[in-house]
Structure 1
């Protein structure tokens, strides 16, 4: 579901300074209890975090974007069935089963939020940034998207429509940034190197 709003306000660094939420504290307490009772292996937890943080990161999503930029047929499949198209590149798993790709253009800028919790496509983007899970981002992204984007350094012309997509447990979104001019000669790997995690959330141009 998209919420189209003309305005917004937000700071990436500000959200990293917020104390842990009640939910984060509860999760930490539960994790500690499970480890203490021997039901969870802390090494396995560390390995899982390391996998999504360093081996996945935003690299998988960047490869999806680069392929879409360079292969019109793949781009069409991504628009029609994002989950299947992403799986073609070997990126699948829990938290990424049901995906939709939304494309930025000269007329439209897309931005993703999860207003209820922090649903996020881990197999494509790795670990979610702290600010994505914060209450200020989750509320303000819908109320004032242009203000939030401005705090990330993204100032859009008046005529550009901002579309805010609300992720859920049933459907997660991947923003395909607008391909930069002058990149026609770049290889797919070189194109992927231009794409950032924030660009695929929609809080950056790339």
Structure 2
């Protein structure tokens, strides 16, 4: 394992920001007064976390798989390449694309909080923010990946990248076999959220949602 651990965060990650505190206070108030149904709110958050947000990243991955020139652009200036598809904004000003290969598998963590590329992946999943993931994946990445069901060959090097407030990452998983001739829309269905964090590989062609549904 090797690690790129940039811990130079410019804010105190052990505390919620003013905005986050206000949001939580409003959520509590509205829930207590019956204005908001907690289950409905949870459903909305889950939708943004697992469906709407990651679709943007999936389109980036699909373009990288199908367009060699775009892939090279991603490698040299990820932020600009991603912005060209319309994905910019807070929490995504500086994004680096990490390209997986048979020799190197990349996995992302934020050891001090939950820095995450919102414009391309949506809201971070609960496990990404957990202290267990943040502390263990740096020390024993293969064991953590195995708990996600991902067992890599011993010949594959695992690189752990530490997101910061200044730099966030998206993993470009390897393109699944059997997808020659597929459109970008079809390819995007294979780029699942966890594969763009590095805790899974892309969905197999035979398991494409629109095929198995």
TM-score for both structures, normalised by structure 2: 0.76
Unpaired runs of 5+ residues, structure 2, are 5-13, 30-34, 203-213
Secondary structure at the residue paired with 2:159? strand
Q: Which residue of 1 aligns with 2:106?
A: 110
The answer for the alignment partner of 2:196 in structure 1 is 200
User: Across the two proteins, how many residue pairs are aligned to each other?
Assistant: 180
Report the equivalent of 1:85: 81
The residue number in structure 1 matching 2:23 is 31
Cα separation, partners in 2 of 1:178 and 1:32, compared to 1, 3 Å? closer
Q: 1:146 to 1:53 in 2, by over 3 A?
A: closer
What value does the CA root-mean-square deviation take over the aligned residues?
A: 2.8
Instruction: Give CA deviations for 1:64-107 in whole Å, capped at 9, x if unaligned.
Output: 00000000111111111111100000010000010100111111
Q: Would you say the 8 A contact 1:115–1:139 is kept in 2?
A: yes
| Kept after mapping to 1: 8 A contact 2:50/2:193 | no
- Alpha-carbon distance change, 58 to 33 in structure 1, aligned in 2, over 3 angstroms: closer
**Range 58-67 or range 72-81, more displaced:** 72-81
Q: 1:31 to 1:148 in 2, by over 3 A?
A: same
Greater RCO (Cα-Cα under 8 Å, separation 6 or more): 1
What displacement does 1:34 show?
Answer: 5.6
Runs of 5+ in structure 1 lacking a partner? 5-21, 37-41
